[in-house]
Copies of this chain bind each other. A is one copy, B any other.
Amino acid sequence: MIKVIAFDADDTLWVNEPFFREAEEEFASLMEGFMPRHSSIKELYLTEIGNLNLYGYGIKGFMLSMIQTALRISEHKISVKAIDKILEIGYEMMQKPVEILPGVEEVLAELKDDYRLVMATKGDLVDQEKKLKKSGLDHYFHHIEIMSEKKVADFAKLVQHLDVAPEEFLMMGNSLKSDVLPVLELGGHAIHIPFHTTWEHEMIQHEVVHDNFYQAEHISQVVEIIKGM
């Protein structure tokens, strides 16, 4: 019944969010002369949310939001060297090696002959393509879908583009808000695979109860779950 399985990438296939947390800590260190660490991280978060419509997701937008926040909270008293340091934080993020999460490759290998596998992710195209290539996982995927958002309308466009019905589509990922709820609403299937670090913007506070929803504790369980569907 399932024809296409879409995998979220960041924090589902490989580590991502912890690198943003580390970058935030470096940013907070730069801002310590102007604001307590916790407050500057909060200000950065507010800037990011405010820019989401304009910038979308990804490291470039994050870099621009860091610069904007630094200018604002220092009231233009930040040093130019600190701006340079912010650019450096971003370059380093972009050049991190890809850490594939345990169990991922085995699952892709087991599923690839029976399903069309796609990678469906937010973020920058250039960045995600590069990570996929570095990961060596690219041959498992039919193609990449970079989504500007993961709302119901975005998944509706995606299944149409993939030429399958929603009930033939299964999404798995670490965000209940982005990878699970909109897919269920559309009539698709979703598996949640939690990751220890989740961006505040991706959090929801309630439990998910739905016939097409499956909770995994670890990605190694998904083959079993799919067989049982």
Binding site for B on A (CB under 8 A): 54-56, 60-61, 63-64, 67-68, 71, 74, 76-81, 83-84, 87, 90-91, 94-95, 124-126, 129, 142-143, 146, 148, 157, 161
Q: Which of B56, B68, B76, B83 contacts A125 (CB 8 A)?
A: B56
Q: Which of B56, B60, B80 contacts A78 (CB 8 A)?
A: B80
Nearest CB of chain B from residue A19's CB, rounded to whole Å: 15
**Interface majority SS on A: helix, strand, loop or mixed?**
helix
CB pair B55 A83 closer than 8 Å: no
CB pair A60 B67 closer than 8 Å: no
CA distance A61 to B142 in the complex (A): 28
List of B residues within 8 angstroms of A90 by Cβ: 64
List of B residues within 8 angstroms of A143 by Cβ: 157, 161
Nearest CB of chain B from residue A59's CB, rounded to whole Å: 9
CA distance A61 to B90 in the complex (A): 12
With both beta carbons as reference points, the residue of chain B lying nearest to A143 in the complex is identified as: B161
CB pair A64 B71 closer than 8 Å: no
With both beta carbons as reference points, the residue of chain B lying nearest to A161 in the complex is identified as: B143
